[in-house]
Chain A
């Protein structure tokens, strides 16, 4: 008896659900079958009248029926809801979204970061030092004798006779070598000051990255290798380079590193002063006198040092023609990078 009804309701439900077109019909279906007085509920009521033997079997069938029908009902319901959403999906996607502002680092910082990342990858630590320095750290300890013309290479802002605004990041070399024992492998980025006439090519403050490596077997050949590796990572693989002799009191032998002008590819242009080369950094082997000043045995240890200006590097890399723009902080400029 009950079994037949179960099968009847099952097929009736299947027929009914096949005709459902909208929410309203679905709701009617729900009421017809699943409401408190619905057909399924009625069957459960009838179960009470079944014999003790039949009850477990029928109960199971009824439960299966209810699970089946509910599942079918739910699936149609989801289908209908999805199609309803599409109907109502009249949103104008062409309207602009709500933008989030993300700031940016100064172009100089970005350039510095790039350089830092490369040297960190080559095993260098990063340390800093003060901008208001002693004359000793900035000059004397770096083998610039007092009253020597080498001091004219760097026009200096003095605070007192013995204190000044550092003219390069090289005094950090002295601080590092006084504090740590070799092996020492560090880069030292920072702000420097020069009392030079301000023009589109020079400003009275600028950033430098200094490098220093001191160990038992550091050679000029390794200095070249390290800097070439840096230049290739920073400026690109295929570049040509040259090292030419130069002079810095704190290194000997000293060199300047040039790379092929990437604006004219070596043919000669205004930027490279028609030489085809761009000077990118100064470097050399740490002078024994400097080691002497920081009590490092220059017979046992050798070392190299290098330094490069960041503003100049950024000018070249981004095609900017006036160095002063870096310190003007025009918001329209800052937002470009």
Chain B
């Protein structure tokens, strides 16, 4: 909300207080000043000048050569504006002036060979409007040689204040003044009322009836007759333009002015357009349509609180008036509405209609129910003054159940308990009194305060403590660096994921983070997708069901910019609706699982002077996955399964599982899918369920003594039928060996015509040792030769000479 410092000063004496101090103190007491425009600082160097003479520029058709009088001297100035004429009073920027638009300084310049000693300004250059059609021509009355800061009332300080939702009371100049009064411990005054009421009684001209008093607890109305609708006076237009409002006519401007003055939204009806000169406040019973004063037809759901006349609705209560009763230039008689509506009701209507106005913004936060009468009178007075109207005698004030001031207790010792320091009791009482609270009960330990009805946010003891803290200043709360020790058990639920990240990095992978929101075409690839009810765009309308589709998009994007070798990992949550569910009604209806994805494509290593180039292949992926599990000490308990022709997104597909539970899946991504992403090269990826992996993570590694006895290594090579897999052989080797065999490694694999048709050679290196003793040649030999004969028999394999 924009607040004018000059306007604030109408109600409080701030003499001798610098504007930056006000900005600082407001911010530090909870009314955060986000931006400040100090007009005096901006405009002090611009002066009113008189154009004495205008000639054509000797070298340029569109430029004029002017002699301007600045009050002290005559200066030659080149001007490009079409409307500059001699005899005008204009805004002149002498050399050295900083121009707000574009933030540049005026210097002595030579324009097409002629010297120019300043600039005659247009409105846009002064940041007063976007108008650049010509220079700003001033009124005859302004004084030449004076600063425009004074002559044009450009001497205000306008603050943009961010009002938090708990402080609707501060959504007006008086609201801000109330806080300033408490901060500076000063008095403030409300605008004074001088109502010249006519002898005609309002009751004879209008009536008000509330049918739905729950949603409209109070409705105050006044009538001003024989008003002339016209332009507002300068002072009023000036007030409104400073805070960013466009003046319209005296009646509309007054209602806006009073809203920004007192915080009470007001509406002016053309009384003669109200059937029966009557106001009825009621909620609609059926769905209907209504045309608001912005000429838009709006669909109203049943149960919308409306202001009606004797026949029809004339305004959406608290939101916007209707076209059918709005003020026009021919309006004579005005009914002023100053009401208090139920905040939740206004918010509901505003949300349903998608229509938020300055009025609804205030009503849905809370306006002061006790303030409607004063606001109505203030409005009536100003309308009558500015439109030469006649205020009818009396007020219609329907207020069936008075909203009373709340009483809130305060135990002084709780202040220290919450804030960590003591505020003297007298100071506590003084602060609360300055904020308009009244002492209702007092004892040594506890006071009871009544809270003015405009402070809807103060209901509990803690709310009073907050008021004390903010007015006394958060800076006054000590900063205690002693940090107490909590005895609770320490946990770090992220440690497993952290360890996973470390391993992934050490394996050469870079971490990526993708937006879990994606389009349907991605989300549907890998699972049972969950839709966002109110997405920002269709390509962010679903939650990811797996990390893979998002990662493939990243691969595609990077290949596009020439990054063809990628080794990336991601840790993130994926979401799947349970297959038997249509809609989420409980946490049991969907899964949210943390996953880890490794994805790789391109070259495992570039060709160097030492080694040939190698592309990533399925064995690169397998190696990485196994290294990861090894580092987690899970390599011994996790089993692989390999598949062909499964219904997956992989053509080479395998899984890792533990006790029948699948921990992860991956392989080489199918070409068809890659095509969908426009990826022209092989991509390998593997995705783990981290929730499962975490649950089986081994109980922690134990120290094992380094081996004391020598190892014996035996190599053997067999020729097998091509159909025999590595896995079959290795499983059999383990099965046929005693516990003396500690590791088996395949170190050679090849096919060659010399081996025979459909044959291949696999060579293994076997490691035997014991933790307890040195093995004898005989026992190893015995075990080894038994193995050779068993393998030969089992696979019909022939031993090759090694």
Contact = CB atoms under 8 A, between A and B. Distances in A.
Interface of A: 95-96, 98, 100-106, 108-109, 113, 116, 120, 122-123, 125-128, 130-132, 134, 147-150, 152-153, 156-160, 162-163, 165, 180, 182-185, 189, 191, 193, 195, 197-198, 203-205, 213, 215, 217-222, 224-226, 228-229, 242-247, 252-256, 273, 285, 287-288, 302, 326-332, 334-335
B485 interface: yes
B561 A330 contact: yes
B507 A160 contact: no
B479 interface: yes
Contacts of A108: 513
B83 to A, nearest CB: 35
Given A103-B510, A125-B490, A242-B28, 17 more contacts: A103-B506, A104-B505, A127-B491, A132-B543, A147-B348, A148-B344, A157-B517, A205-B516, A221-B477, A228-B479, A229-B481, A247-B167, A252-B463, A285-B418, A329-B557, A329-B568, A331-B563
Nearest to B487: A183
A153 B164 CA distance: 9
A98 B164 CA distance: 59
Nearest to A285: B418
A183 B487 CA distance: 7
A326 B514 CA distance: 9
A326 B482 CA distance: 37
B540 A109 contact: no
B418 A105 contact: no
Nearest to A226: B483
Nearest to B164: A247
Contacts of A253: 418-419, 462, 465-466, 469-470
Given A106-B513, A204-B517, A329-B513, A122 B483 contact: yes
A222 B420 contact: yes
Given A157-B532, A183-B487, A219 B480 contact: yes
Contact of B466 (A105, A221, A252): A252
B462 A252 contact: yes
B419 A220 contact: yes
Contacts of A134: 587
A100 to B, nearest CB: 7
B610 interface: yes
A160 B532 CA distance: 8
B554 interface: yes
Contacts of B487: 183
A220 B32 contact: no
Nearest to B577: A159
Contacts of B32: 244, 246, 256
Nearest 7 pairs between A and B by C-beta?
Answer: A221-B420, A219-B420, A245-B30, A247-B164, A101-B508, A183-B486, A253-B466
Given A221-B419, A225-B481, A116 B532 contact: no
B488 A220 contact: no
B30 A246 contact: yes
Interface string B63-106: 00000000000000000000000000000000000000000000
B611 interface: yes
B88 to A, nearest CB: 35
B165 A149 contact: yes
A271 to B, nearest CB: 15
Contact of B573 (A148, A191, A243): A191
B351 to A, nearest CB: 8
Interface in B467-520: 469-470, 474-475, 477-495, 498, 501, 504-517
A24 to B, nearest CB: 34
A131 B488 contact: no
Contacts of B590: 132
B640 interface: no
Given A185-B486, A245-B28, A152 B480 contact: no
Interface string B17-48: 00000000001111010110000000000000
B462 A185 contact: no
B165 A334 contact: no
A195 B557 contact: no
A128 B516 contact: no
A69 to B, nearest CB: 33
Contacts of B495: 126
B735 interface: no
Given A109-B501, A125-B488, A149-B364, A103 B513 contact: no
B480 A224 contact: yes
Contacts of B609: 95-96
13 contacts: A103-B505, A104-B511, A123-B483, A128-B493, A148-B344, A153-B165, A159-B530, A182-B488, A225-B482, A244-B32, A273-B35, A329-B514, A331-B563
A131 B573 contact: yes
B698 interface: no
Contacts of B587: 130, 134
Given A152-B165, A219-B418, A330-B557, A103 B567 contact: yes
Contact of B421 (A130, A221, A329, A335): A221
A157 B534 CA distance: 6
A150 B592 contact: no
B511 A334 contact: yes
Interface string B516-527: 110000000000
Contacts of B513: 106, 108-109, 326-327, 329
Contacts of B514: 327, 329
A148 B611 contact: no
A185 B487 CA distance: 9
A160 B469 contact: no
Interface in B534-593: 534-536, 540, 543, 554, 557-558, 561, 563, 566-569, 572-573, 575, 583-585, 587, 590, 592
B141 interface: no
Interface in B161-210: 164-167
B460 interface: yes
Nearest to B351: A147
A221 B364 contact: no
A189 B494 contact: yes
A220 B465 CA distance: 11
Contact of B165 (A184, A221, A225, A247): A247
B347 interface: yes
Contacts of B510: 103-104, 106, 331, 334-335
Given A246-B164, A302-B418, A334-B510, A221 B480 contact: yes
A59 to B, nearest CB: 34
A228 B474 CA distance: 14
B418 A224 contact: no
Contacts of A213: 486
A212 B498 CA distance: 21
Nearest to A219: B420
Contacts of A185: 486, 488
Nearest to B23: A275
Nearest to A332: B563
Contacts of A247: 30, 164-167
A183 B488 contact: yes
Interface string B258-300: 0000000000000000000000000000000000000000000
Contact of B479 (A127, A218, A224): A224
Nearest to A149: B165
Contacts of B534: 156-158, 195
A92 B492 CA distance: 50
Nearest to A158: B533
Given A222-B483, A243-B474, A150 B505 contact: no
